[in-house]
Homo-oligomer: A and B are copies of this chain.
């Protein structure tokens, strides 16, 4: 494997890792509705505010969100409005493939991944 490929895979893995936490997924979903301050997100998540703040820092460093200061508040805003949609796709795809796998197990052959981006 060449180095460019390695970097590409590292980057992708890093993006996925950023999203791979329940609290961060919830944050993303909530920010898809509208920007929110840390306190609001903290209430929804039910964790310590310092924990949520760190989750937000992770999302920010990865480029998923940005923050705008408003007085003592930090309003966090999603920079890419379609993230949950992608996660949706993965999940739906997996579900579809579960039944597909069952069919394959029964002896049929896979035709072509029909569970695409719809």
Contact = CB atoms under 8 A, between A and B. Distances in A.
Interface of A: 1, 5-6, 9-17, 19-26, 44-46, 63-64, 66, 79-83, 85-87, 89-91, 93-94, 96-98, 100-101, 104, 110, 112-113, 115-118
Contacts of A6: 22
A82 B92 CA distance: 11
A34 B79 CA distance: 36
Contact of A13 (B14, B20, B64, B110): B20
Given A9-B26, A16-B20, A17-B20, A82 B87 contact: no
A16 to B, nearest CB: 4
Contacts of A115: 80-82
